[in-house]
Amino acid sequence: MGVSATAKKIKSMEIRGAGNIARYAAQALKTYAEESRAKTPKEFILGLKKAGDVLISARPSAVSLPNAVRLITRKVEGAGLDDIALLKELTIKTAGDFIEASNTAVEKIGEIGAGRISSGDVILTHCNSQAALSVIKTAARQGKDIEVFATESRPWNQGHITAKELAKEGIPVTLIVDSAVRVFIRKIDKVIVGADSIAVNGAVVNKVGTAQIALTAHEARALFFVCAESYKFSPATVLGELIEIEERDPGEIADPKKFKGVKIRNPVFDVTPPEYVDLIITEKGVMPPQAALILIKEQFGW
Ligand code: RI2
């Protein structure tokens, strides 16, 4: 799929999930390289950067998207090649390597995170995170006897996908509305969610509702785990930049025509403070949220 079609599908959420949009963006840059008719290396690099900008602008909150795009464009530009065929080859390889590393990271998070799950655990998850599901599924495949509560995750109801996916795996799963979390929290041992972005102070940007769940879990002394590949950490936050919270069309919540005189707002992510996060599970290992700076330094340099 080409760059503009991919960007369009990311914007409309036909392609969704923080890791997934990064992999699709990498794939689109690969396609750009395969189809580019640039006549000079300069023209090729300019086109690549422009393609990257189009993809980055599709969704603002998941830092996985700009991180993936910049990893590829900077490597290709930085190689200083003056041959178009070599530039194409390098773009295709770098994008392919990112996709492979991303898939491996999700698997690795599953293996590492499953070590933190015990037989008998009742888990709550929010939205639909491949990283979080990797932990839950791996634990179940290891023979651990677990049960899951999945929130529906309004307004897009990605929790329906999660519930069906877990049921298909044979994992006992209960679907609840987002506002029912506190009703069931006493049964929950561990909350396991994904992340769209993690800031330098360990604050977690994830599907709206996550912060309320973290607060509820904290009060009930249930553990709160976040699963995130290392490319979901935001290097820009080191310089004090804030992560933008995407606000989507109010029509996704209710038909504004039926609510004359009512303002409808639709923020799709929220920020969970690090104090409510017990552990972040990455493909490099587990860490407290306070160690986010160390990971960012290792991953992105200064
Ligand atoms: P993985 C999703 O965003 C959810 O917020 C989910 O928790 C997060 O991406 C991470 O998902 P959306 O695209 O990368 O549904 O772990 O808004 O799959």
Which residues are identified as catalytic?
127, 196
Counting Cα atoms < 13 Å in the Cβ hemisphere of 230 gives 20
Hey, what are 102's tokens?
A: 């991303």
pLDDT tier for residue 302 given thresholds of 50, 70 and 90 = low
pLDDT tier for residue 301 given thresholds of 50, 70 and 90 = confident
Task: Tell me the CATH number for domain 115-300.
Answer: 3.40.50.10470
Pocket test for ligand 1, best of 59, 133, 158 (most atoms within 8 A of CB): 158
Given a cut of 90, whether residue 234 has pLDDT beyond it is yes
Could you tell me the distance, in angstroms and rounded to a whole number, from the CA of residue 196 to the centre of ligand 1?
6
Pocket test for ligand 1, best of 196, 197, 229, 249 (most atoms within 8 A of CB): 196
Look at residue 81 in the predicted model and tell me its pLDDT.
87
Task: State the amino acid at position 268 in one-letter form.
Answer: V
* Phi-psi label, residue 153: left if phi above 0, alpha if psi -120 to 50, beta otherwise: left
Tokens 């996985």 correspond to what residue?
64
Residue whose Cα lies nearest atom 7 of ligand 1: it is 194
Residue 5 or residue 240, greater confidence: 5
User: What tens digit of pLDDT does each residue of 46-95 get?
Assistant: 999 999 999 999 998 999 999 999 999 999 999 988 999 999 999 999 99
Per DSSP, the three-state class of 208 is: coil
User: What tens digit of pLDDT does each residue of 237-288 get?
Assistant: 998 899 999 999 999 999 999 999 999 999 999 999 999 999 999 999 999 9
CB 201 within 8 A of CB 292: yes
Alpha helices in the chain (DSSP H): 3-11, 18-35, 41-56, 64-78, 84-114, 130-141, 158-168, 181-184, 210-220, 292-300
Instruction: Specify the fold of 3-107.
Output: Four Helix Bundle (Hemerythrin (Met), subunit A) (1.20.120)
Task: State the amino acid at position 246 in one-letter form.
Answer: E
The DSSP code for 125 is: E
Cα 57 to Cα 211: distance, rounded to the nearest angstrom: 25
pLDDT tier for residue 8 given thresholds of 50, 70 and 90 = very high
Cα 302 to Cα 297: distance, rounded to the nearest angstrom: 6
Question: Longest C-alpha distance within the chain, in Å?
Answer: 64
Tokens 């820009």 correspond to what residue?
236
Cα 95 to Cα 81: distance, rounded to the nearest angstrom: 17
The C-alpha angle 295, 94, 5, rounded to 5 degrees, equals: 100
Does residue 196 line the site of ligand 1, with CB under 6 A? yes
Query: What are the structural domain ranges in the chain?
Result: 3-107, 115-300
Backbone angles phi, psi at 221, to 5 degrees: 60, 35
Look at residue 228 in the predicted model and tell me its pLDDT.
98
Could you tell me the distance, in angstroms and rounded to a whole number, from the CA of residue 93 to the centre of ligand 1?
26
Strands 147-151 and 122-125: parallel
Cα 84 to Cα 105: distance, rounded to the nearest angstrom: 31
CB 69 within 8 A of CB 52: yes
Backbone angles phi, psi at 230, to 5 degrees: -65, -20
